[in-house]
């Protein structure tokens, strides 16, 4: 490389770097600086000594997470719900994206897109009351209009755990599928139109085009999105699991996740050591999961791995 082209390349990357500065700063301030607080998870907090001066207490702060059989229930709920969300979420999002990409009228496609994204903008608290309007045992739509018309007995939804895995998945899909389809819509629009043209000339139908062209072309995007969501396998949308079931105790067996457990348990005692311990536990497991999943992908198809 000549000197001038090197200079030019540096100049170019300098401009790119300058553009990245705000984002990097944001990451640094929001994600990296607060990380110093990790050590609080191993401290017995004493305010008169300050955070740094407090005594170390080893893994004592982690004990409460494993105190009862709740530990198993909340880990099971968190993981199973998230796996379901990842699986169904991906399927729905890709499905919607394929349908959307077939809409050629500009006005219609924008209208549908707006309609699909709207639920994502609605706060979970409001979603909770929308669900409540359906499921209220006395005045709700389901008990009055649907079950009543079918001649069935009303169900007291908020004390019957059995229905909630389905209800929660439905709510989550309604809220997020439209939004997550955007990425897929973008990648579909990036697929070379020539491929479809060639396929049509060879006599391939719509379904064949989808399975033979769209899906294989989408695969890297799908893998990347799934890998990214695996990192959050141990986290949960607090609003979904706390607000939507109206914090109903009778449903805890199917709605308790690590986040809600920590919130409920520590609201009363406000122990920041224990809260940090729970956060650290989630992050470490999430980190391990991403690394493992990525390693598996890299072994099979190196070009699709995240890193």
Partner 1 sequence: MKKGKSLLSLFLALALALTAFSGCGSKSASSGAAASGDSAETQKVVMYLITFNNIPDDYSKVTDAINNYIAEKYPDAHVALDLRLIGPADYNDKIKLAMQSGTQMDLFIPLDLQTFIAQNMCMDISSYLDEYGKDMVAMINKDFGTDGFSTLTQNGAIYGVPINKAVVINPTLSYNKEMLDGVGVSIDDINSIWDLSDVYAKVKEKYPDVYCYAPTNQQDTYISLILEGDDKMDRLGDTTYTGVIFGDSGKVVDLYETDQFRKYVDLMRSWYLAGYVPQDMATSTTTAPAYASSGRLFSTYASYSGVDKQSDNSVLNQLTGTDAYGSKWISSFYMDTMSTSLAMCVSSNSKVPEAAVKLLNIVYSDEFVLNTILFGIEGEDYVKPSEHVAQFPEGLDANTVPYTAYLCNGVIGSESLQWVTTSEEDYQKKLQAIEMNKSAERSPYYGFVFDASNVVNEMTALTNVVKQYYPGLVCGSLDPDEAIPEFIKALKDAGVDTVVAEKQKQLDAWIAANQ
Contacting residues toward partner 1, per CB under 8 A: 18-19, 21-23, 25-26, 29-30, 45-51, 60, 63-64, 67-70, 136-138, 156, 158-159, 245-250, 252, 256, 261, 264-266, 268-272, 274
Whole-number minimum distance, CB 64 to partner 1, in Å?
Answer: 4
258-271 burial string, b = 16+ CB within 10 Å, else e?
bbbbbbebbeeeee
Q: What angle do CA 110, 116, 118 make, to 5 degrees?
A: 100
Residue 229 or residue 255: which is nearer to partner 1 going by CB? 255
Number of Cβ within 10 Å of residue 229's Cβ equals 18
CB distance 275 to 62 below 8 Å = no
Task: Specify the residue, 210 or 266, whose C-beta has the smaller distance to partner 1.
Answer: 266
Nearest distance from C-beta of residue 54 to partner 1, angstroms: 9
- Which residue lies nearer to partner 1 by CB, 19 or 302? 19
CB of 238 to partner 1, least distance (A): 15
CB of 141 to partner 1, least distance (A): 14
Q: Please enumerate in sequence order all residues whose Cβ is within 8 A of that of 304, keeping only pairs 6 or more positions apart, or say none.
A: 219, 220, 223, 224, 297
Q: What share of the chain is helix, strand, coil (3-state, %, to 5)?
A: 80, 0, 20
Which CB sits closer to partner 1, 5 or 30? 30
Q: Between 221 and 256, name the residue whose CB sits nearer to partner 1.
A: 256
Taking every pair of Cα atoms in the chain, the longest distance, rounded to a whole number of angstroms, is: 84
Closest approach of Cβ 269 to partner 1, in Å? Answer: 5
């Amino acid at each position: 490389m000549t000197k001038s082209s090197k200079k030019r390349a540096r100049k170019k990357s300098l401009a790119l770097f300058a553009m990245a500065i705000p984002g990097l700063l944001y990451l640094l301030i929001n994600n990296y600086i607060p990380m110093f607080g990790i050590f609080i998870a191993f401290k017995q907090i004493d305010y008169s000594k300050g955070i740094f001066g407090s005594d170390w207490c080893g893994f004592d702060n982690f004990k409460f997470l494993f105190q009862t059989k709740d530990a198993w229930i909340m880990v099971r709920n968190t993981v199973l719900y998230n796996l379901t969300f990842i699986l169904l979420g991906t399927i729905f999002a890709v499905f919607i994206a394929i349908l959307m990409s077939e809409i050629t009228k500009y006005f219609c496609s924008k209208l549908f897109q707006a309609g699909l994204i709207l639920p994502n903008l609605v706060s979970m608290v409001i979603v909770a009351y929308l669900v409540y309007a359906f499921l209220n045992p006395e005045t709700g739509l389901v008990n009055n209009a649907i079950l009543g018309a079918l001649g069935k007995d009303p169900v007291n939804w908020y004390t019957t755990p059995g229905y909630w895995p389905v209800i929660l998945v439905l709510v989550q899909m309604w809220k997020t599928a439209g939004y997550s389809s955007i990425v897929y819509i973008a990648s579909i629009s990036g697929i070379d139109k020539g491929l479809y043209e060639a396929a049509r000339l060879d006599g391939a139908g719509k379904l064949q085009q989808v399975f033979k062209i769209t899906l294989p072309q989408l695969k890297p995007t799908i893998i990347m999105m799934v890998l990214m969501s695996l990192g959050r396998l141990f986290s949960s949308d607090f609003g979904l699991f706390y607000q939507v079931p109206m914090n109903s105790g009778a449903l805890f067996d199917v709605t308790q996740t690590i986040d809600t457990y920590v919130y409920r348990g520590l609201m009363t005692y406000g122990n920041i050591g224990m809260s940090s311990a729970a956060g650290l536990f989630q992050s470490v497991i999430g980190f391990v999961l991403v690394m493992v999943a990525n390693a598996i992908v890299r072994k099979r198809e190196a070009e699709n791995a995240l890193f």
